[in-house]
Amino acid sequence: MKELTPLEEALRAVLSSAKPLETQRVFIHEALGMVLAEDIRADTDKPLFDNSAMDGYAVRWEDVKQVPARLKLIGEYTAGTGEDITLLPGTAIKIFTGAPLPKGADTVIPVEYTEEKNGEVIVKKSFKKGANVRKRGEDMREGQLVLKKGTPIRGYEMGILSSLNVPLVSVRRRPNVGILSTGDEILDVCEPRTKPSQIRTSNNYMLHGLVKRAGGIPYNLGILPDDPNTLKEALKNAHRYDIFITTGGVSMGEKDYVKELVKELNVDVKFHKLRIKPAKPVLFGTFADGKLFFGLPGNPVSSAVAFDLLVYPAIRAMMGFRNPEREKRSAVLDEDYARKSADRREFARAVVYFKDGRYHCIPLKKQDSHMLTSLSEANAYMVVPEGVLSLKKGEEVEVILID
């Protein structure tokens, strides 16, 4: 039998084909979850002017060195004020958070340490010179590099972009991902069952969710029977997507046509079988124009594992993420784990949690590749290395987080 491809080699092949996609300009709202494709610099100093960090009174520090101190109130500065008063010795201005510091003032006394009476304010506590004042430029200087090209955009970055007055921002576009299931026995949701041997699809909808969550744009193209002509016709358009995923039809069965058809469609097949469990039959190749083709196994759990290990990184790499793979952690095993054969690296569905300063891992009981419940309960895969038949409680294991 032909050698099974090691996962590292497979991942290298995928990542060397998954080139970052073109950039596009999107409004801040659309940029969430995408990767910045340009450097963003500060448009002005931030803050742009010295201003108050508190509600209180703007004073000259010399006047309140000794407390209590009594100062004449000569005005009020609210945030966004148009006032332009100069503070002379012995006077104070009532000030609110964010309001510019009046000329002559250098310190703000918070309202809770004061008392206002008959047009005067009594300062009861002394503060350091410059206390409660936000200085011009202390967060950013005009022209300073604030967000580097390659930064993933979260809500925080969206806030920064708007504060820098950048409404349209350059990002890498999301890949379009076509999803097609194959199998005579597979029914779509709502399709009537006409034979007891038929099964309802999981993969179309599972992959739709996984692609979307990863950042791609999923197109659920439904289910086709195991008929070479129908499949060939459908796959003729596969290269129109940045990534095309099929499920089923890549194993050793006589009706597994996908693996033959891709060759007819001039897909340059990089690997077909992996030394992993589940998800041994995974086919990957590229179309002449560089678009990616993944033939995932029909078993839903195998399909999910293959997605997480290979398609997820492809989507993320195309979007410009520097670390496109799912996150890994080291965890301590809470229970013994044993398996019957050690010839492949296994990705066992597991629950990982944080307790007493470290991650713990509990492998789930149902590990067969058709058992969907294991995926719903899991938040990680526990990696069982090749050649390892059993792991003992307390041992260190590698886990891959999934969501």
Q: Which residues bind Mg ion (CB under 5 A)?
A: 183, 248, 298
Contact between 186 and ligand AMP by CB under 6 A: the answer reads: yes
Kindly tell me the sign of the dihedral angle through the C-alpha atoms of 93, 97, 100, 103. Answer: positive
Q: Minimal distance in Å, beta carbon 301 to ligand AMP?
A: 9
Asked if 366 contacts 360 with a C-beta cutoff of 8 angstroms, the reply is no
Q: Minimal distance in Å, beta carbon 232 to Mg ion?
A: 16
Among 175, 183, 216, 218, binds ligand AMP (CB under 6 A): 183
Among 88, 145, 168, 199, binds ligand AMP (CB under 6 A): 199
Among 38, 185, 334, 377, binds ligand AMP (CB under 6 A): 185
Among 91, 220, 299, 367, binds ligand AMP (CB under 6 A): 299
CB of 161 or CB of 180, closer to ligand AMP: 180
Contact between 258 and ligand AMP by CB under 6 A: the answer reads: no
Asked if 305 contacts 299 with a C-beta cutoff of 8 angstroms, the reply is no
- Specify the stretch interacting with ligand AMP by CB under 6 A; choose among 100-108, 140-148, 248-256, 313-321: 248-256
Which of Mg ion, ligand AMP, none lies near 203, with the C-beta cut-off 5 to 8 A by kind?
ligand AMP
Which of Mg ion, ligand AMP, none lies near 313, with the C-beta cut-off 5 to 8 A by kind?
none
CB of 195 or CB of 355, closer to Mg ion: 195
Contact between 295 and ligand AMP by CB under 6 A: the answer reads: no
CB of 114 or CB of 204, closer to ligand AMP: 204
CB of 183 or CB of 215, closer to ligand AMP: 183
Contact between 249 and ligand AMP by CB under 6 A: the answer reads: yes
- Specify the stretch interacting with ligand AMP by CB under 6 A; choose among 25-33, 88-96, 133-141, 295-303: 295-303
Contact between 143 and ligand AMP by CB under 6 A: the answer reads: no
Contact between 102 and ligand AMP by CB under 6 A: the answer reads: no
The residue type of 101 is L
Q: Minimal distance in Å, beta carbon 182 to ligand AMP?
A: 7
Among 56, 295, 297, 313, binds ligand AMP (CB under 6 A): 297
CB of 102 or CB of 183, closer to ligand AMP: 183
Contact between 203 and ligand AMP by CB under 6 A: the answer reads: yes
Contact between 247 and ligand AMP by CB under 6 A: the answer reads: yes
Distances (CA, A) of 329 to 41, 44, 353, 379: 34, 41, 11, 12
Residues at the site binding ligand AMP, with contacts judged by CB under 6 A: 181, 183, 185-186, 199, 201-204, 247-249, 251, 253, 297-300
